[in-house]
Structure 1
Amino acid sequence: MKKAPFVAMSAVTALLGTALGALALQLRANGYEQYVESVATFSVLMYVTAALVVVTWVRDGRPHSN
Structure 2
Amino acid sequence: MTKGPFVAMAAATATLGTALGALALQLRAEGYEQYVESVATFSVLMFVTAVLTVVTWVRDGRPRAN
TM-score of the aligned structures, taking structure 2 as reference length: 0.97
Calculate percent identity across the aligned residue pairs.
83
RMSD: 0.5
User: Which letter does structure 2 place at the counterpart of 1:41?
Assistant: T
What per-residue deviation string (whole Å, max 9, x for no partner) do you get for residues 12-56 of structure 1?
A: 000000000000001001100000000000000000000000000
User: Which letter does structure 2 place at the counterpart of 1:50?
Assistant: A
Alignment gaps of 5+ in structure 2: none
Q: Describe how 1:40-55 pairs up with structure 2 within 5 A.
A: 40-55=40-55
2:25 aligns to what?
25
CA distance in 2, matches of 1:65, 1:8: 28
CA distance in 1, matches of 2:2, 2:65: 19
The offset of 1:64, in angstroms, is: 1.1
Alignment gaps of 5+ in structure 1: none
TM-score of the aligned structures, taking structure 1 as reference length: 0.97
